[in-house]
Structure 1
Amino acid sequence: MSSSADVKASARRLFIGAGCNRVVNNVSWGACDLVSFGAQNAVAIFSPKTAQILTTLPGHKAAVNCTHWLPSNKFAFRAKNMERHYLVSGDADGAIMLWELSIIDQKWKHVLQVPQSHKKGVTCIAAIVISDRAAMFATTSSDGTAHVYEAVLPSSTGDECTVSHVESIPVGSKAMVTISLAQLPGSAGQIVLAMGGLDNEIHLYCGDRTGKFMHACELKGHIDWIRSLDFSLPVCTEGEQDGLLLVSSSQDRGIRIWKIALRDSAAGNRSASSIDEINLASYIEGPVLVAGSYSYQISLESLLIGHEDWVYSVEWQPPIWSSTERMSYYQPLSLLSASMDKTMMIWKPEKTTGIWMNVVTVGELSHCALGFYGGHWSPDGNSILAHGYGGSFHLWRNVGSDFDNWKPQRVPSGHFAAVTDIAWARSGEYILSVSHDQTTRVFAPWELEASHNGASWHEIARPQVHGHDINCVTIIKGKGNHRFVSGAEEKVSRVFEAPLSFLKTLNHATSEIFGFSEDCQTDVQILGANMSALGLSQKPIYVQAPHAREMPERTGTAGLDSLETIPDAVPVVLTEPPIEEQLAWHTLWPESHKLYGHGNELYSLCCDHEGKLVASSCKAQSATVAEIWLWQVGSWKAVGRLHSHSLTVTQMEFSHDSKMLLAVSRDRQFSVFSIIRTDTGDITHRLLARQEAHKRIIWACSWNPFSHEFATGSRDKTVKIWAVEGESSVKHISTLPQFSSSVTALSWVGLDWKQNSGLLAVGMENGLVELWALRIVRTEGTEVPKVSASLAARLDPLMCHISTVNRLAWRTSVKAEDLRTIQLASCGADQCVRVFEIDVE
């Protein structure tokens, strides 16, 4: 490479790990067989077939509360020939967005922000597809109104989808949290809208596509908040549409099924005679619903009791194509409910008595979940998906042929709060991430025989499940077993060591790529770890006898039935990517040491490249608290306290020869320390230089892998390059052009040692990432080197984070000649861990 200007880079997305916002009504399963959910301010899309998050859509300025597909799973029968599908999303500020997915090339487009959005957070979105060209959707909000909109779907390729506001319905001071729409059978164009919320009643409104939704009646019976409502499609008896079914669920733990039947028709008489035959079915007449010239009798069809806690969602099974000529589909009498009691249930009426019974129960997750926030059918009715309090997904598929046999399936996973730090394993086998959701997670590419596209990334372990928000992490480099140190909102750093179960699992995951690491200890005596009663310390589970090392190798779902009866964790060797139930309890690492010394909560950690020293810093408002502590790996003794800064040290990094430690701080200064190792193994240190470098907080720093230059990035939107000269001074040698936002993350990777060239990844507060090609040129007769810098790539905003990039990390374990393709990991405040593959040209 003659100059950095020759270097261009292109990026493609390898992996996104993200958890679901813990909000009811957040998830929607579309007719296109993709699932949408809110992940912080982004709308994330995942494919249940591959268990991978495909993309995140930027645009919302607040947390995404609700998503809903047009057409959703309920209208999959109408979507056979649709080239474009749409997605409606609502956020905590009341904004509603419309997105378009082109089915052929899987490209996304932001269509519009819906007019007349809400003044406060959106709580629910529901929709119906009226025809191939028209759909209606309705939204509820905590601002005391419900809005109804009409969407005109384009028929030809060039046309745009348009949305018009049809009606605003004031609902009073008690907010509505759920809504459902349906077309009334028999009447031309009459639409019924049901709402429920904090006043324990279901409110029905009638109207048409022109608006004028009039309050029709209330349905009473529930004794706590209404949490979910869902209309069926018209139910057919002997080929005639004779009514709708409405299901409601509540915090009173009950589910009610209401029948809405045409009054003055043969269909109504027929339904009455059939009710006489089914004498056990409860039949309580309710109010009459008048819509235009038609009237409908509402009756309580059934009351379903079975859940032991709030029932957050109920949903009818999507319609199925019918073989009869008169109707193109029929509505199965099958319901899915999801509850805070950690179960989902499928309900069906018995054939003989007509009494609704619970026929399938899945869940019962013992320790893992704190209940389900919602449940959804797949469009074909063979899979069911729940999302839980811990941001997690749970998917079951009916794999039985003659009888129901629901088995857990793989799903994407990730953090459900800001991801604060990431680190690559020393040989690049996996990424370790930590988050304010109080967990540490391991993501790795897993070679699966079934996939021909190489390895797909999955979460393979959750080493730490903690009682504090975790701020920082570092993996111990150098030889020996896998170890890491994490720091959280407490004054203690914790050291964790990989158990035997993880080492064997890692071998299964990466055998095609890495093989078992030679420098790993094969005589590890710890199988796994248990949580203590208060959940703040992870105790080791030891190998009791030689034969105990032959642990059972379990495939993804075996052995979960016995969770209730086993109080302790069971370390498991995984032969395929684990599901949430296994991750949450059976993949913990034991805690080997606690490092005491800091006066405030931990903020930053780093390890030298030989794996002998760890540096730590904490939040600080004074010089005495802002000191950096050095810890000796192995003995874990404090071997140094470095004084230089007066406010929090935000990031530290050892130079690649481990002879210097660079620290940057909120006090706008950086420090460079010389780390001196004596022959006796003692560590001494000396402050080489301290300098005010930027006008605002310095967030990030990174060393040149080939020599003693480093970069600093600041809130003042600049990145500066510095060179350590001799033993005492640091010179400023270059400033990159000003960035569009605060610089919050930096990572420098070497490309060509002879040319002293590399790539600097720059992450910003707005979520964007840029790659800069840097080349350090030293000319004879001059002390200060020159920097040749050029922009190598600006990553597509659709690939980047939605909010602040907290950390960037290059996977630098690959050999020098392989550096035409290199991987970059990033984490951010948008709950995401991302891995990009960068091709250098």
Structure 2
Amino acid sequence: MKCQVERAFIGAGCNRIVNNVSWGASNLVAFGAHNAVAIFCPQKAQILTTLPGHNAAVNCTYWLPSSKFAFRAQQLSHHYLLSGDANGIIMLWEVSLTDGKWRHVLTVPQPHKKGVTCISGIMFSSTEAIFASTSSDGNVNIWEIILPVTTGGDCKLSHLESLFVGSKTMVALALAELLDNTGRVVLAMGGLDNKVHIYSGERTGKFVRACELKGHLDWIRSLDFSLAVGKKGARDTLLLVSSSQDKTIRIWKMVLSDTSGKSERKDVIGLASYIEGPLFVSGLSTYQISLESLLIGHEDWVYSVQWQPPSSTSTENNGHLQPQSILSASMDKTMMIWKPEKISGIWMNVVTVGELSHCALGFYGGHWSPNGDAILAHGYGGSFHLWKDVGIDSHNWQPQKVPSGHYAAVSDIGWARSGKFLLSVSHDQTTRIFAPWLSGMGDQGSWHEIARPQVHGHDLNCVTIIQGKGNHRFVCGADEKVARVFEAPLSFLRTLNCAVSSESDLQEDIQLDVKILGANMSALGLSQKPIYVNAVQEAPERPDSEAIDTLETVPEAVPVTLTKPPIEDQLGWHTLWPESHKLYGHGNELFSLCCDHEGKLVASSCKAQTMSVAEIWLWEVGSWKAVGRLQSHSLTVTQMEFSHDDSLLLSVSRDRQFSVFSIKREGVDETNYELLVRQEAHKRIIWACSWNTFGHEFATGSRDKTVKLWSVVSRTSVKQLSTLPPFPSSVTALSWLGLERQTNHGLLAVGLENGFIELWSLSGIRSEHGSTSVAGFTANAVARLDPFMCHASTVQRLAWRSSESEKTEDSQNNQLASCGADNCVRVFEVNVSQW
């Protein structure tokens, strides 16, 4: 058997840290998603890949060449990316723009002793660059890097300097070439002592302290040098912009002085004249720095400032022209573009964009696109916000679709019974729905987050989607003792029918006469209150025209039918589902949930250290009464699953045992259950289990790095069929897909603690005398997924797409979803073919 696996979708949020995002001259955006580096394409609004290798959270990324030096990279087929993590490790990556292939080039020697906080660089030519990194260990390291001219060549890295800055660590860096054309470099750094420190040095190293710039009243958060500017081709000025937690932005002017030490003064002293500042000498040249402007407009910490990169159209005799335009991003939820007025030269705020919803808690950074027609922010909620200037004669900045995802570990996933969407829950306290959005052109559609049904006040641990007929419902468990039931509102059903479903197979849902249009968030982010269809006033046509969120008023949600994938503001506010029931009974935090295939019963378990607390509760769907309490385990039940005929319930636990229960429904209200067998199966915690689609065989996976296959042979005994060869890491997730009923042929997906995923082909061997029971399984590894496709941390759950309505038994295309501790939700296309 042959198995071909392709990446279909990656959903991930951005680490909540400054300097984490970088938009390069390649027009790709890099950001840290837990301990992976994620790459997304702004044009497609899709995450293209993730780069594994870091063992700690990725703190910062930096492109070589960055968008500032795009004019030096027009002929380059390979671009490079630096990434730094919380352990002090810096890695260099290479991407080929022709085929999109990535490779790890090197890990920078002499790592920092603590987390890397900022990386900044400067390109001298298409192959020569210097970059500097700063860390909370109080050191700034400066490196020279020679990039290869040919494909696949080696990068040469040489250490130039280590500067110790003391206990007041630096968190912002900027590098620039000095104006005397002798190849000398200026380094600006800022941090906890509220000053901007200027160092000058040669390209070969030997950096010396030049001067300090005082004025800011709080931490310096961001620094950026312009390219050389000047009128009529005279490049005699360098501008440095700095931003601070004192809510202000300062522009510093650096000019070449004459030999007498007096810089050129303007004949007329106007409003734009500067305050004379310190002098410093570098080589044979003397420079004067002065304050050019103080920009006040933000109402909170200004985390990021960046000069607009020179576009390819604005060229002069030297190949580039620095636009007089600065982008700033602040925790006040806004980004601003600043430009000097043509007549007075006073710097003014000309564009303000931002998020008005209560969900956004401010921006950690702002970035220009390489040609300056788009700006990107990343926020506290791990989200991206992109605006593009779509105006022809005048500026018209409009929000654009961006990738989205969880910004903390994703703990569980589930497919809708129709297979039309995938639902995930995370420790970031949100539930999200991802689906392929059909463009109407007959294609498969590109995946997007289409709804955020739950924004909660506790970390979410588990979820199950109610199978069977009726409206879409799910049950969710969190770090509280209550399970909550949610039901799809009318606005979601209409969106699903309009944009995600190619046929009208969801009309049945619409005909259920759903009276609830959407939901409002509660004050504490726990229970979500329904918005009824009749209670809605005239809904605005535009979903983004809600009332402004102030401290006094929280705006009403405006649930609408979406006609295109929603942006962050809509997701966090207008796509909530109402909560219909709470299920009380467990004594501790909920840990796992599952639903039978008819949609009649839900089983739940919680964290436990005693047998009485470790019991499994059964709930009747609809009435939501507790109809059973199953006792067997003595520690937390880690996963449960109903057999495909719903007659058996399998549970596995931290106590290293599995249990099989018989479940029978007598009449309407009565459910009978019985423990058939309990058996110690592994030497360590059992994390995962999964039933064979075509029979009463199941698999268990454990921390002891093994997967075992079992068969229920009678009402009182379970027989071990086989043990798969040991895996390189703990087995944390399993999902069994039946491919062919006649030969009992299937595919077992195995997820490991190191993030890797393997696919194993299983073929059942029938016992003698024509019995239907299975005597054993032959197992073969048919695919070990490429590390660049896998998770960068523990795989938490695997789930094959279940779409019984459209799938035949000989269907060869299947979709596998996975979620992990690396904050990612992934979907793979698995094409199975015979040899």
TM-score, normalised with respect to structure 1: 0.96
For 1:90-489, list aligned pairs within 5 A: 90-264=84-258, 272-273=265-266, 276-277=267-268, 279-321=270-312, 326-449=317-440, 454-489=444-479
> Does residue 620 in structure 1 map to residue 578 in structure 2?
no
Post-superposition offset of 1:243: 1.1
> Does residue 806 in structure 1 map to residue 796 in structure 2?
yes
Aligned residue in 2 for 1:3: none
Aligned residue in 2 for 1:815: 807
Q: Deviations over 1:313-335 (max 9, x none)?
A: 00000013466652211000100
Aligned residue in 2 for 1:776: 764
Q: Secondary structure at the match of 1:454?
A: coil
Q: Secondary structure at the match of 1:505?
A: helix
Aligned residue in 1 for 2:647: 659
Q: Deviations over 1:656-677 (max 9, x none)?
A: 0001000000000000000011
Q: Distance in 2 between matches of 1:651 and 1:453?
A: 36
On the 8 A contact 1:480/1:521 being kept in 2, the answer is no
> Does residue 828 in structure 1 map to residue 828 in structure 2?
no
Q: Secondary structure at the match of 1:195?
A: strand
Aligned residue in 2 for 1:719: 707
Q: Distance in 2 between matches of 1:523 and 1:553?
A: 23
Post-superposition offset of 1:517: 4.5
Q: Secondary structure at the match of 2:324?
A: coil
Structure 2 counterpart of 1:581, which letter?
A: D
Q: Secondary structure at the match of 1:616?
A: strand
Q: Distance in 2 between matches of 1:157 and 1:652?
A: 51
> Does residue 736 in structure 1 map to residue 736 in structure 2?
no
Q: Distance in 1 between matches of 2:315 and 2:299?
A: 40
Post-superposition offset of 1:306: 0.3
Post-superposition offset of 1:543: 1.1
Q: Distance in 2 between matches of 1:159 and 1:190?
A: 28
Alpha-carbon spacing, 1:57–1:578, altered in 2? closer, same or farther (3 Å): same
Aligned residue in 2 for 1:11: 5
Q: Distance in 1 between matches of 2:448 and 2:681?
A: 40
Alpha-carbon spacing, 1:365–1:267, altered in 2? closer, same or farther (3 Å): farther
Aligned residue in 2 for 1:4: none
Post-superposition offset of 1:550: 9.5
Q: Deviations over 1:207-248 (max 9, x none)?
A: 011110000000000010000000000012110111100000
Identity of aligned residues (%): 70
Post-superposition offset of 1:452: 7.8
Q: Deviations over 1:54-100 (max 9, x none)?
A: 00000001000000000011001111001110000000000000000
Structure 1 counterpart of 2:382, which letter?
A: G
> Does residue 503 in structure 1 map to residue 496 in structure 2?
no
Q: Distance in 1 between matches of 2:203 and 2:748?
A: 55
Alpha-carbon spacing, 1:650–1:70, altered in 2? closer, same or farther (3 Å): same
Q: Secondary structure at the match of 1:747?
A: strand
Q: Secondary structure at the match of 2:114?
A: coil
Q: Distance in 1 between matches of 2:822 and 2:342?
A: 49
Post-superposition offset of 1:291: 0.7
On the 8 A contact 2:240/2:251 being kept in 1, the answer is yes
Moved more, 222-231 or 513-522: 513-522
Post-superposition offset of 1:791: 1.1
Q: Secondary structure at the match of 2:419?
A: coil
On the 8 A contact 2:482/2:585 being kept in 1, the answer is yes
Unaligned runs of 5+ in 1: 1-6
Q: Secondary structure at the match of 2:294?
A: strand
Aligned residue in 2 for 1:840: 832
Runs of 4+ with deviation above 3 angstroms? 265-269, 321-325, 451-454, 519-522, 548-554, 560-566, 781-784
Q: Distance in 2 between matches of 1:817 and 1:613?
A: 26
Aligned residue pair count = 827
Post-superposition offset of 1:368: 2.0
Q: Secondary structure at the match of 2:68?
A: helix
Post-superposition offset of 1:445: 0.3
On the 8 A contact 1:278/1:353 being kept in 2, the answer is no
Alpha-carbon spacing, 1:316–1:560, altered in 2? closer, same or farther (3 Å): farther
Q: Distance in 2 between matches of 1:522 and 1:104?
A: 51
Q: Distance in 2 between matches of 1:516 and 1:530?
A: 25
Q: Secondary structure at the match of 2:664?
A: strand
On the 8 A contact 1:479/1:520 being kept in 2, the answer is no
Q: Secondary structure at the match of 1:508?
A: helix
Q: Secondary structure at the match of 1:802?
A: coil
Q: Secondary structure at the match of 2:497?
A: helix
Structure 2 counterpart of 1:225, which letter?
A: W
Post-superposition offset of 1:507: 1.2
On the 8 A contact 2:687/2:731 being kept in 1, the answer is yes
Q: Secondary structure at the match of 1:330?
A: coil
Q: Out of 521, 529, 534, which is 1:544 matched to?
A: 534
Post-superposition offset of 1:559: 2.7
Q: Secondary structure at the match of 2:80?
A: strand
For 1:34-113, list aligned pairs within 5 A: 34-113=28-107
On the 8 A contact 2:131/2:144 being kept in 1, the answer is yes
Alpha-carbon spacing, 1:618–1:520, altered in 2? closer, same or farther (3 Å): farther
Alpha-carbon spacing, 1:543–1:818, altered in 2? closer, same or farther (3 Å): farther
Structure 2 counterpart of 1:704, which letter?
A: N
Q: Out of 534, 546, 550, which is 2:524 matched to?
A: 534
> Does residue 706 in structure 1 map to residue 694 in structure 2?
yes
On the 8 A contact 1:242/1:267 being kept in 2, the answer is no
Q: Out of 582, 587, 590, which is 1:594 matched to?
A: 582
Aligned residue in 2 for 1:682: 670
Q: Deviations over 1:414-456 (max 9, x none)?
A: 000000000000010000000000000000000125x785300
Structure 2 counterpart of 1:826, which letter?
A: S
TM-score, normalised with respect to structure 2: 0.97
Unaligned runs of 5+ in 2: none
On the 8 A contact 2:365/2:378 being kept in 1, the answer is yes
Aligned residue in 2 for 1:646: 634
On the 8 A contact 1:731/1:784 being kept in 2, the answer is no
On the 8 A contact 2:739/2:810 being kept in 1, the answer is no
